[in-house]
């Protein structure tokens, strides 16, 4: 829900306010931190963006979060608690310094909450967040006993303390309540005073995380992504859902920028993602075919990535090289086990293919004579002394594997790369042509990165380890573009396997001089789901078998079912991706 309000005087005011709060005019306030869907929200966002820089030591928070996740703390719970307490710190201190901010906050909260069509209260963290939003609007929420006690304990934390003391208090709350809640069924959870214990945290051992060596690049990227998420959004945004179809503001999910910025963005795509391997004519043809309706005005960029195409962006070259080494390093830790998985999958597929390709012999009244049955003539009622060999008519197979490479998959990055490598290797060894692609979006561009092409050797499968996650995802356009190439293959059996979290989410760029845009401006929620589902149906009508492998939350399974119907698999453990695909392929080949 982030736009740029087309009022430069107001924008300057918001920037100055943010810099003043931060106390540093050299701070760069990122465009994504400014929400100008209304002036009240825009002012509040500017205030919070500056206050976060002034009042929070994010390095300490990052170290604490990394340490706790390593120790087995539930990531969603600990992130939620951190967001609530840091939001409280930032708001209370900003209001104390400038009391007028309280009225701005109240108006911004009311503006946002009034647009919600649904309040999220599926779990205890949702209830806690909503309670804090209502308190800040001078309302008194009705809470169950356990939620009320947790909320009161959080509100009783002295936000004027040192950040270490605040995190210590947060740790006590987690250990006191959530270990017990998480060990039971939350939906059936009832508060019992006897089940909630008093917890003492030894401050000396608590502070040990400050002296740990900094985590690996992979962990760092995941934690950075999580920290960025809570440090660049308002608590109130996450407590409800917007109706894209009814709210004109929420539907206009467009970032408006000036002409110069647009030109810079379009000229930098190859700088950040590598040169395209298609000609201008091929790209234009694809965009004409695919960038219609909801995708009107979007663009497509097919690339082999910065490491295997022309690119002079030294930083990006180093970054992608590091991501590849991280993924390879994770593979090498258990290389023997993974190679065994490749071998098992290869042997299993080879065995099925041999069985299915075997000729079926049928005895008949005509055909090729079988000498050892000639004696039956005149001596038996079974006079079928001829035979025919029936050829397998199923035909050959070709498989596309499409990986969601948006930022929401960053926590699974290494595992996804390994599983895709296992599948691609096994398929190549049994002679099934396969292509592995990743998709993400950067502003108006849907980036389709080719890791392995249909006829590549096994050695080229290592390019799959270049997989890394960033940006948004326009699933429907990615599927549509991939199918444009798959449908032209000669093989009779075309299969598309899509690994995604089932949450299409993208923005659109519009120039200030072009306020009216064709096509849908929002690509999230029901708009994104319906479009993706429509592209899946179109692919199936073209006789492409489409399987969705869902890696999102169980509560979002209905969205995945809307997209893929019954042909999807919910994989709680991403490391079983190759097993899931193996079972699906066996079923398809045998059917």
CA-wise closest residue to 81 among 61, 110, 101, 109: 61
CA distance 588 to 591: 5
- DSSP one-letter string for 291-313: S-GGGTT-EEEEE--TTSS----
Q: Between 93 and 365, whose confidence is greater?
A: 93
Beta strands in 65-169 (DSSP E): 116-119
The per-residue pLDDT for 400 is 96
Q: Which of 580, 559, 432 is nearest to 497 (CA)?
A: 580
pLDDT number for residue 210: 53
Scan for tokens 């692919």, then name that residue. Answer: 539
Categorize the per-residue pLDDT at 506 as very low, low, confident or very high, splitting at 50, 70 and 90: confident
Structure tokens at 95: 């209001």
pLDDT at 48 over 60: yes
User: In the prediction, which pLDDT does 336 show?
Assistant: 94
Q: Is the separation of the CB atoms in 514 and 531 below 8 Å?
A: no
SS3 100: coil
> pLDDT class for 532, splitting at 50, 70, 90?
very high
pLDDT at 328: 95
- Least confident stretch, 10-24, 105-119, 415-429: 10-24
Give the pLDDT confidence score for residue 514 in this predicted structure: 45
CB proximity list for 314: less than 8 A, separation 6 or greater? none
Whether 520 has a pLDDT exceeding 50, the answer reads yes
Strand 445-452 relative to strand 434-442: parallel, antiparallel, unpaired? Answer: antiparallel
34 pLDDT higher than 50 = no
The residue among 422, 417, 241 whose CA lies nearest residue 320 is 417
- Residue 365 CA: distances (Å) to CA of 195, 373, 379, 391: 80, 12, 16, 19
Nearest residue to 422 (alpha-carbon basis) of 349, 350, 338: 338
Span 353-411, pLDDT tens digits: 776 665 656 667 777 776 666 666 656 666 677 667 666 666 789 999 999 998 888 88
Q: How confident is the model at residue 460 (pLDDT cuts 50, 70, 90)?
A: very high
Give the 3-state secondary structure of 383-429: CCCEEEEECCCCCCEEEEEEEECCHHHHHHHHHHHHHHHHHHHHHHH
Q: In this predicted structure, what is the pLDDT of residue 238? A: 60
Tell me how far apart the alpha carbons of residues 447 and 160 are, in angstroms, rounded to a whole number.
46
Q: Are 498 and 481 in contact (CB under 8 A)?
A: no
Is the pLDDT at 513 greater than 50? The verdict is no
pLDDT at residue 534 is higher than 70? yes
**pLDDT above 80 (res 474):** yes
Which of 436, 412, 423 shows the shortest CA–CA distance to 338? Answer: 423
Query: Environment class of residue 122 by beta-carbon count within 10 Å: exposed (0-12), middle (13-18) or buried (19+)?
Result: exposed
* Residue-level pLDDT at 472: 85
Check whether 241 has a pLDDT greater than 60. Answer: no
Helices 163-173 and 75-97, axial angle in degrees (round to 10): 140
Mean per-residue pLDDT of the chain = 77
d(CA 323, CA 227): 19
pLDDT at 542: 94
Q: Determine which helix (DSSP H) or strand (DSSP E) holds 511, and give its type and residue range.
A: strand 508-511
Cα 147–chain centre separation: 30
Reported confidence tier of residue 484, pLDDT bands at 50, 70, 90: very high
Assess contact for 14 and 42: CB atoms under 8 A: yes
Confidence band (pLDDT; 50, 70, 90) for 313?
A: confident
Q: In this model, does residue 565 exceed pLDDT 60?
A: yes
How far is 77 from 267, CA to CA, in rounded Å?
41
* CA-CA-CA-CA torsion sign (121, 123, 128, 133): negative
Higher pLDDT, 160 or 388: 160
* Sequence-ordered list of residues with C-beta below 8 angstroms from that of 99, at least 6 positions apart, any chain: none
Does residue 580 or residue 203 have the better pLDDT? 580
Q: Which two tokens stand for residue 197?
A: 């214990």
CB 300 within 8 A of CB 282: no
Consecutive H or E run containing 9: helix 8-22
Angle (CA) 484-251-404 rounded to 5° is 40
Residue 54 has a pLDDT of 82
Q: In this predicted model, which residue has the larger pLDDT, 462 or 362? A: 462
434: pLDDT strictly greater than 90: yes
33 confidence band (pLDDT: 50, 70, 90): very low
pLDDT value at 196 more than 80 = no
Superfamily of domain 296-339+396-590: von Willebrand factor, type A domain (3.40.50.410)
The answer on pLDDT for 294 being more than 70 is yes
**Which of 82-91, 252-261, 473-482, 524-533 is predicted least confidently?**
252-261
Q: What mean pLDDT comes out for the span 151-172?
A: 89
How many Å apart are CA 253 and CA 248, to the nearest integer? Answer: 9
Grade residue 6 by pLDDT with cuts at 50, 70 and 90. Answer: very low
Residue in 281, 323, 276, 269 with CA at minimum distance from that of residue 304: 276
Task: For 397, list phi and psi in degrees, rounded to 5.
Answer: -120, 150
Domain boundaries, the chain: 58-97+123-242, 296-339+396-590
Q: How far is CA 31 from CA 51, 382, 480, 504, in A?
A: 16, 84, 30, 22
Among residues 483, 464, 485, which one has the least CA distance to residue 577? 464
Q: Stretch 181-191: mean pLDDT, rounded?
A: 50
% pLDDT > 90, the chain: 25
- Tell me what pLDDT residue 251 has: 41
Q: Say if CB 542 and CB 286 are below 8 A apart.
A: no
DSSP-based three-state secondary structure for 156: coil
- Residues 135-150 have a mean pLDDT of 84
Q: Of 150-159, 245-254, 287-296, which gets the smallest average pLDDT?
A: 245-254
Mean pLDDT of 289-306: 90
- pLDDT at position 45 over 60: yes
Two tokens, residue 440: 């993400």
163-187: average pLDDT: 76
Identify any residues that bridge with 49 across adjacent strands, giving them in sequence order.
none
The whole-number average pLDDT for the span 542-562 is 84
pLDDT of residue 3: 39
Q: pLDDT digits over 204-240, tens only? A: 555 555 555 444 444 555 666 666 666 556 665 566 5
Task: Tell me what percent of the residues of the chain surpass a pLDDT of 70.
Answer: 69
Q: What is the mean pLDDT of residues 428-443?
A: 92
Greater confidence (573 vs 98) lies with 98
**Predicted local distance difference test score (pLDDT) of residue 35:** 46
With bands split at pLDDT 50, 70 and 90, how would you rate the model's confidence at 131? confident
What's the count of helices (H) and strands (E) in the chain, helices before strands?
A: 21, 14
Burial class from Cβ neighbours inside 10 Å (0-12, 13-18, 19+) for residue 176 reads middle
Residue range 287-309: average pLDDT?
91
Q: Give 517's pLDDT tier (boundaries 50, 70, 90).
A: very low
Three-state SS at 364: strand
pTM: 0.58
Q: What's the pLDDT at 12?
A: 58
Q: 538: which strand partners?
A: none
């Amino acid at each position: 829900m982030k736009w740029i309000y087309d009022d430069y005087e107001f924008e300057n005011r918001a920037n100055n306010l943010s810099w003043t709060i931060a106390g540093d005019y050299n701070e760069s306030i990122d465009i994504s931190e400014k929400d100008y869907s209304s002036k009240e929200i825009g002012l509040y966002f500017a205030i919070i963006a500056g206050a976060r820089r002034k009042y929070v030591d994010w390095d300490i928070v990052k170290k604490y979060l990394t340490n706790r996740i390593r120790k087995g703390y539930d990531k969603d719970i600990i992130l939620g608690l951190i967001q609530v307490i840091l939001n409280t710190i930032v708001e209370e201190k900003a209001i104390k310094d400038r009391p007028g901010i309280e009225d701005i906050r109240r108006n911004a909260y009311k503006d946002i909450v009034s647009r919600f069509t649904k309040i999220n209260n599926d779990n205890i963290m949702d209830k806690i967040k909503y309670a804090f939003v209502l308190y800040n609007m001078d309302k008194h929420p009705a809470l169950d006993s356990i939620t009320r006690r947790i909320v009161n304990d959080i509100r009783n934390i002295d936000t004027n303390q040192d950040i270490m003391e605040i995190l210590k208090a947060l740790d006590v709350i987690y250990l006191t309540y959530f270990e017990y809640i998480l060990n039971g069924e939350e939906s059936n959870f009832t508060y019992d005073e006897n089940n909630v214990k008093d917890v003492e945290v030894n401050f000396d051992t608590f502070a040990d995380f400050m002296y740990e060596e900094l985590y690996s690049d992979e962990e760092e990227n995941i934690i950075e992504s999580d920290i960025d998420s809570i440090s660049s959004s308002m608590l109130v945004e996450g407590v409800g859902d917007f109706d894209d179809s009814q709210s004109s503001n929420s539907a206009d999910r467009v970032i408006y920028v000036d002409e110069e910025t647009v030109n810079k963005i379009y000229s930098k795509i190859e700088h950040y993602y590598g040169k395209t391997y298609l000609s201008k004519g091929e790209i234009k043809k694809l965009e004409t075919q695919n960038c219609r309706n909801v995708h009107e005005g979007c663009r497509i960029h097919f690339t082999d990535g910065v490491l295997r195409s022309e690119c002079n962006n030294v930083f990006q070259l180093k970054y992608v090289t590091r991501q590849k080494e991280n993924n390879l390093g994770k593979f090498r830790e258990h290389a023997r086990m993974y190679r065994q998985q490749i071998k098992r999958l290869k042997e299993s597929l080879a065995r099925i293919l041999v069985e299915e390709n075997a000729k079926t012999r049928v005895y008949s009244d005509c055909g090729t004579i079988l000498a050892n049955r000639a004696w039956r003539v005149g001596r038996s009622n079974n006079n079928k002394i001829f035979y025919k060999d029936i050829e397998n008519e199923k035909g050959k197979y070709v498989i596309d594997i499409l990986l969601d490479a948006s930022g929401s998959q960053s926590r699974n990055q290494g595992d996804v790369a390994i599983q895709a490598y296992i599948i691609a290797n096994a398929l190549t060894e049994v002679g099934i042509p396969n292509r592995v692609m990743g998709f993400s979006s950067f502003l108006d561009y849907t980036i389709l990165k080719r890791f392995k092409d249909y006829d590549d050797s096994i050695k080229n499968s290592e390019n799959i380890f270049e997989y890394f996650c960033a940006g948004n995802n326009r699933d429907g356009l990615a599927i549509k573009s991939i199918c444009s190439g798959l449908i032209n293959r000669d093989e009779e059996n075309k299969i598309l396997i899509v690994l995604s979290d089932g949450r299409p989410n993208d923005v659109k760029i519009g120039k200030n001089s072009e306020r009216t845009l064709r096509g849908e401006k929002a690509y999230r929620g029901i708009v994104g789901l319906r479009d993706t589902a429509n592209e899946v149906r179109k692919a199936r009508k073209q006789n492409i078998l489409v399987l969705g492998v869902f890696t999102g939350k169980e509560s979002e399974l209905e969205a995945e079912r809307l997209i893929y119907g019954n042909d999807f698999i919910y994989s709680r453990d991403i490391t079983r991706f190759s097993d899931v695909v193996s079972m699906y392929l066996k079923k398809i080949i045998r059917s």
